[in-house]
Chain A
């Protein structure tokens, strides 16, 4: 069974630009969550989607948004990038929030 796939793996963007990250969950998984991880910080929850609906949202500004498609694939978008947005962005998929969540390899975003 294929794992969680995130694309791209690495990204370099300039301040003010926007970026879209993609996540393909494990087949059959309908819950997709996004996290931001920076040095010295824990995993910070961004949002969770289940069957195309955003069920939970973390404490991030509105520049961070996401969506989920009918095939459970998910995208997150960050607009007006800031230097502080440089981080490892992780996607995790699961059957539900009560079951095992599996992470993708992450997208490392660098904002210059």
Chain B
């Protein structure tokens, strides 16, 4: 059973701070890794993808991948109240497997 684990939260950070979200996965054969953001009542929105070890930056978002340790993380710099949402980690191999999501709350 391929598993993707996330702390459900809520993770509460003040506005302007860095939010750090983490995810671990069980399948060493996984090849692609994604972060989705989901607002309440809406569908998931893809915000980051990463395929190789290291960091990938896109605006205020940085995804980090460590295949040896089987974890992937998402950093959100200068967090804004509009970033308050549930963040889903997804791992791709022969199918895409999602974690349960971490709820992020950014307080003004």
Contacts and interface: CB of A to CB of B under 8 A. Distances in A.
| A, B in one complex | yes
Interface residues of B, number: 22
A48 B93 CA distance: 13
B43 A101 contact: no
Main secondary structure, interface of B, reads strand
A92 B98 CA distance: 13
B31 A98 contact: yes
A97 B43 contact: no
Contacts of B49: 100
A102 B88 contact: no
A43 B88 contact: yes
16 contacts: A35-B98, A42-B101, A43-B44, A43-B88, A43-B98, A90-B44, A97-B32, A97-B93, A97-B94, A100-B34, A101-B46, A102-B46, A103-B36, A103-B43, A103-B44, A104-B43
Interface of B: 31-32, 34, 36, 42-46, 49, 88, 90, 92-101
Interface of A: 33, 35, 41-43, 45, 48, 55-56, 88, 90, 92, 94, 97-106
